[in-house]
C-alpha cells in the first residue's frame, strides 16, 4: 500500500511487487498531466467505460460535451508480436463532429517498449492524455497497435494490430462548476 504520497510523485515503480493484486487509490495530484503504467495481466480494467475484449479497435458516441481527455488501455500479447525488439504502444483516434465531418487522425502513444520480446506474458498498458474540446466530437473511433521498428535490411516501420488483444477507452469530461450532484454519491 502507498501511504503519505508526496504531491510531487512523478513515477511509481511496482516492478518487484509480484504479489500485487490491486493498486491502491492514489490521491489526486495537481499538475500531473500524464500517467503511464504497465502491469502484468490480460484484463481491461472494469472502470474503463468502453471496451473491446477481443480486438484492437472500438468506436462509440459521446453523450456529453466538454471532453478534456481520454484514459487508454491496451493489452499486449508478446507471443503475437512479430518484429524486432522495439515497439511503440499507440492509439490512433478519429473524431467525427455533429455534422458528420471527420477530423485528422490523432495519435496517443504510451511509450517505446525497448524489448517487447522480453515481456514473456500479457501486459496491460494504461495511460491518459489531456486536451480541451468544449464542442467535443459526437463520435470517436480508436485503433490500437504497436508501431514496430525494423532495422534490417534498412530501418522501416509498420503497424502490428494482432499483438493488441484487448483495448479500452475512458473519456474524461470537465465537471460543470455549478453542478455539484456528483459530490452526493
pLDDT in tens, 98-118: 888 888 788 888 767 766 656
* 33 pLDDT more than 80: no
Residue 54: strand, helix, or coil: coil
* Burial class of 47 by CB neighbour count within 10 A (0 to 12, 13 to 18, 19+): exposed
Q: For the chain, how many helices (H) and strands (E)?
A: 0, 10
Q: Are 97 and 103 in contact (CB under 8 A)?
A: yes
Which pLDDT belongs to residue 72?
Answer: 95
Residue in this structure with the C-alpha cell 469530461, named with its chain if needed = 173
Binned at pLDDT 50, 70 and 90, residue 20 comes out as very low
Q: Are 121 and 78 in contact (CB under 8 A)?
A: yes
Which pLDDT belongs to residue 165?
Answer: 96
For the chain, the maximum distance between any two Cα atoms, rounded to a whole number of angstroms, is 61
* 69 pLDDT more than 80: yes
Mean pLDDT of 28-56: 82
Q: For the chain, what are the domain ranges?
A: 36-140+162-175
How many CB atoms within 10 Å of residue 94? 16
- Alpha helices in the chain, H assignment, sequence order: none
What CA–CA distance (Å, rounded) separates 181 from 54?
35
* 55 pLDDT more than 90: yes
**Per-residue pLDDT tens for 78-100?**
888 776 667 888 999 998 888 88
* 6 pLDDT more than 50: no
Which pLDDT belongs to residue 4?
Answer: 40
Show the beta-strand stretches assigned E in 41-181.
50-52, 57-61, 67-76, 87-96, 106-113, 123-133, 139-150, 156-160, 164-173
Q: Are 115 and 85 in contact (CB under 8 A)?
A: yes
Residue in this structure with the C-alpha cell 499486449, named with its chain if needed = 76
* 170 pLDDT more than 80: yes
Question: How wide is the angle at C-alpha 48 spanned by C-alphas 60 and 34, nearest 5°?
Answer: 100
Amino acid at each position: 500500500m502507498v501511504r503519505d504520497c508526496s504531491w510531487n510523485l512523478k513515477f511509481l515503480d511496482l516492478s518487484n511487487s509480484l504479489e500485487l493484486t490491486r493498486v491502491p487509490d492514489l490521491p489526486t495530484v495537481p499538475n500531473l498531466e500524464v500517467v503511464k503504467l504497465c502491469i502484468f495481466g490480460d484484463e481491461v480494467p472494469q472502470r474503463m467505460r468502453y471496451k473491446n475484449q477481443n480486438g484492437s479497435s472500438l468506436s462509440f458516441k459521446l453523450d456529453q460535451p466538454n471532453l478534456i481527455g481520454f484514459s487508454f488501455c491496451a493489452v499486449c500479447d508478446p507471443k503475437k508480436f512479430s518484429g524486432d525488439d522495439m515497439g511503440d504502444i499507440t492509439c490512433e483516434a478519429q473524431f467525427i463532429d455533429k455534422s458528420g465531418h471527420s477530423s485528422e487522425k490523432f495519435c496517443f502513444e504510451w511509450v517505446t517498449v525497448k524489448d517487447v520480446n522480453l515481456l514473456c506474458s500479457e501486459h496491460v498498458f494504461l495511460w491518459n492524455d489531456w486536451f480541451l474540446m468544449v464542442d467535443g466530437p459526437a463520435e470517436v473511433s480508436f485503433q490500437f497497435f504497436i508501431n514496430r521498428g525494423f532495422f534490417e535490411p534498412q530501418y522501416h516501420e509498420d503497424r502490428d494490430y494482432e499483438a493488441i488483444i484487448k483495448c479500452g477507452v475512458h473519456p474524461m469530461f470537465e465537471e460543470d462548476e455549478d453542478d455539484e450532484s456528483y459530490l452526493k454519491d
